[in-house]
Amino acid sequence: MSTIIDSGLVAEHNAKLRSNLEADYAALGGMLERRGQNIEQLTTLAQGFAVAVPSWGVGTGGTRFARFPGPGEPRNIFEKMDDCGVIHQLTAATPGVSLHFPWDKTDDVAALREAATRHGLYFDAVNSNTFQDQAGQEHSYKFGSLTAASAQVRAQAVQHNIDCIELGHALGSKALTVWVGDGANFPGQHNLRAVLERYLDSMRGVVSALPADWQVFIEHKLFEPAFYATAIADWGTSYACATELGPQAKCLVDLGHHAPNTNIEMIVARLAQFGKLGGFHFNDSKYGDDDLDAGSINPFQLFLVFNELADAALREGEAFKPAYMLDQSHNVTDPIESLMSSAIEVQRAYIQSALVDRIALAHHQEQHDVLQSAQALKQAFRTDVAPILAMARLRSGGAIDPVAAYRSSGYRRQKAEERPARAGASGSGIV
Ligand code: LRH
Ligand code: MN
Ligand code: MN
C-alpha cells in the first residue's frame, strides 16, 4: 500500500502531539477504570471500526440554486480514489468506498481495482442512479424509473441496476443500494398503489440478477424530488418491499431522509428486530435531506442510533453487520476535511455507545427508575472519548489530528495546481 501524504510528515505530526495524547489517554483510562471499563478494549474496538466514504462526497456539492466549486476538485473516479485514500490514510477508519454509477463508470475496471489496492481501499455498496437522465439515454426518467408507467422505461431502469451489479461484482462489491426519486408532485398524478406494484415488479428483476452473496439495500426518502407522494417514502414501505423481495433485500437508513423529529433510533431498532437492517447513509440535518456532516447538528441522535446498534449486536451476535456509509454534500467546507471529521463523529458515537452499562440500564428499566435509565445513556454520551479515537488512529498508522496533518501537508494546494477547475464541473452531478 502506498501512502499519498508523505508518511514522514504524518510521523512528524504524531511525534509532536504524542506526549499530550498519552497524558489525556492515561487520565481517561483512570476515570474509565473507576467505572469498571477498560480503555484498551475500547481502543481495540475503535481500531476495528469502519465507515465507507461516498465517492460523490469528495467533490464540492451544490444546491438547486448554485454550486461554488472548491479548488483542486477531483475530475474523475481515479482522482476521487486519491482523495478517499487520503481520508483513510489519516483517519484509519474509512477503508471502504461507495461508488455511484454512471458517475463513476469506467471502462478500465482493472485500473480501478488497482487504485483501490494501492490505497488500501475496497468497494462497499455500489449505488444506481435512475433519478437523472444521462446523455444519449433512450428513455427519460422524468415520470419515473423503476415505477414508470411505461414498460420500456422500467426495463431500461432495471437494466441499469443489473449493469451496476455486474460492474460492482467485477470490483469486489457485495451490495447494491437502490434509491429512486420516483413519485408524484400532485394528487391524482399517479395511482399510489399501482406505482408500488410496478416498483416491486421491477425490483424482482433486479433481485434475480444478484449474485448469491450479494444484498440489495432499499433506501427510502420522505420527499424530494417528488413533493406530493414519493414511491418509497418511509421505512414501513421499505420494510414491506424488502420482505416481499426476499432475504437478499434489506432496508437502508439515510439519517436525512425522515421528517424532522422522527425517532430514527426506533426505526433502527425495529429494522434490526425483524432482520431487515441493511445499512446506513450517515449525515446530519436540521430541515430535510440537508446532507450536513455527521454529528454536526444532532450528535445525541447519532449516539442513540449507535446505542440501538450496540443492543442489536449483543442480541444478534456476529451475524449482525449493517453496512456503514457516509452520504454528505459539502458546500462550504473542504470535502476531505468534512469527510474525515464525519468519519470520526460516527466512530465517536460507536465508542460512546460501547460505554453504556447495559446491565445497569436493564436494572434501572426493570425498576422503573426512569431518571437513572436516562442518566445511564447521558453519562456515556457526555464522556469525551477523543483520546481513545486519537490513540486508535495512532496505533493504526493514521494521524492523531487528521485535519491538522492534512492542512500541513499542502495536499489541497498541490491538487489545485494539478487539477485546474473546469467550467461547470460538478463532483456529483447534483446541482
Ligand atoms: C438521495 C441520496 C441517495 C443518492 C444520493 C446521491 O437523496 O441520499 O443515497 O444515491 O443521495
Ligand atoms: Mn443517501
Ligand atoms: Mn439523500
pLDDT of residue 139: 98
Site to probe by mutation for ligand 1, drawn from 98, 104, 219 as the one with most ligand atoms within 8 Å of Cβ, is 219
- Does residue 220's CB lie within 6 angstroms of at least one atom of ligand 1? no
Per-residue pLDDT tens over the stretch 326-379: 999 999 999 999 999 999 999 999 999 999 999 999 999 999 999 999 999 999
DSSP state of 70: P
Per-residue pLDDT tens over the stretch 165-185: 999 999 999 999 999 999 999
Q: Mean pLDDT for the chain?
A: 97
Evaluate if residue 431 carries a pLDDT over 50. no
ipTM: 0.99
Q: CA 98, 103, 106 angle in degrees (round to 5)?
A: 90
For residue 111, the number of C-alpha atoms closer than 13 Å in the C-beta half-sphere is 10
Per-residue pLDDT tens over the stretch 18-52: 999 999 999 999 999 999 999 999 999 999 999 99
- Does residue 127's CB lie within 6 angstroms of at least one atom of ligand 1? yes
For residue 167, the number of C-alpha atoms closer than 13 Å in the C-beta half-sphere is 24
Ligand 1: which residue has its CA nearest to atom 9?
A: 179
DSSP state of 188: T
Evaluate if residue 425 carries a pLDDT over 70. no
Evaluate if residue 421 carries a pLDDT over 90. no
pLDDT of residue 3: 83
Ligand 1: which residue has its CA nearest to atom 5?
A: 327
When pLDDT is cut at 50, 70 and 90, the band that residue 423 belongs to is low
Contact 384, 86 (CB under 8 A): no
- Average pLDDT, stretch 58-75? 95
Helices 109-118 and 77-91: angle between axes, nearest 10 degrees = 20
Evaluate if residue 381 carries a pLDDT over 70. yes
Contact 293, 341 (CB under 8 A): yes
Buried b (16+ CB within 10 A) or exposed e, 411-420: bbeebeeebe
The number of angstroms, rounded, from the C-alpha of 5 to the middle of its chain's C-alpha atoms is 24
Evaluate if residue 424 carries a pLDDT over 70. no
Task: Report the SS3 class of residue 185.
Answer: coil
- Average pLDDT, stretch 119-126? 98
Evaluate if residue 1 carries a pLDDT over 90. no
- Average pLDDT, stretch 232-256? 99
Ligand nearest to the CA of 254: 2
- Does residue 281's CB lie within 6 angstroms of at least one atom of ligand 1? yes
State yes or no: cis peptide before 102, omega within 30 of 0. Answer: yes
Atom of ligand 1 lying closest to residue 252 CA: 9
pLDDT of residue 189: 98
- Average pLDDT, stretch 208-225? 98
Q: What's the 129 CA to ligand 2 centre distance in angstroms?
A: 11
pLDDT of residue 2: 74
